[in-house]
A = this chain, B = another copy of it.
Amino acid sequence: MLFQIIDEALLCHVGFVDKGQPFVIPTLAWRIDETIFLHGSRGSRMLNVLRSGTGICVTFSLLDGLVMARSAFYHSANYLSAVVLGKARSLDSKQEKLQALEQFMERIAPRRWPQVRSPSRQELEATDVFALSLDEASVKVRAGDPGDPDKDLGFPVWAGTIPVRQVFGPMQDADNLDPAHAKPDYRSAFLDRWTER
């Protein structure tokens, strides 16, 4: 369940403390086995704080539905969330960074990595990649129908759920795309959340 939440969410929110003030920054993250990875431009505030070795919190959330009960109080939300605590480790070897970044692209766009221009030495140096172990992770899930107590079941109002989904696709060509380069098929990377609208 932990792996599924992280893999489906793609987006996470990184919490860290800088001079006593908490910050929450959204970023994409990916997982390899029992480790999650974050990346960004060297010198950003978030990555500077991560590099300092302080404790962080990385939270993945999938809002799954709005739960409409017979009483105001029992309204709720269906969701899955994973909260990961720990200290991030900076990947310092060029090889380790490249492997992690390749896995990230493979997660989103299978077989794209060998097709794009590889990072130059300067680009790779300008990119920080951090690893965070899933050793200290907790999962919370709320699913299913509203939990109205029996005494409220006769209340004359509709009850149920409004599903919420994060959906992907369809792919849109860049304005300056050479039409010789047809769309690849990345649907397989997005489980059942690809759309052909």
Contacts and interface: CB of A to CB of B under 8 A. Distances in A.
B155 A116 contact: yes
A10 interface: yes
Interface string A7-51: 000110111110011111110100000000000000000000000
A109 interface: yes
Interface in A61-101: 61, 63, 65-66, 68-73, 75, 77, 79, 81, 83, 85, 101
A139 interface: no
Contacts of A182: 158
A59 B1 CA distance: 25
Interface string A153-169: 11111111111111111
Contacts of A14: 24
Given A68-B112, A75-B105, A105-B75, A167 B164 contact: yes
Q: How large is the interface on A (under 10, 10 to 19, 20 to 34, 35 or more residues)?
A: 35 or more
A160 B105 CA distance: 14
13 contacts: A16-B22, A22-B57, A68-B171, A71-B119, A71-B123, A73-B123, A73-B127, A75-B105, A115-B156, A145-B175, A158-B181, A159-B176, A163-B170
Contacts of A66: 108-109, 168
Copies in the assembly, this chain: 2
Contacts of A173: 158-160
A53 interface: no
A166 B175 CA distance: 25
Contacts of A154: 178
Contacts of A68: 109, 112, 171
A158 B184 contact: yes
The 7 closest A-B pairs by CB, nearest first: A15-B24, A71-B117, A26-B61, A24-B59, A13-B13, A73-B123, A15-B22
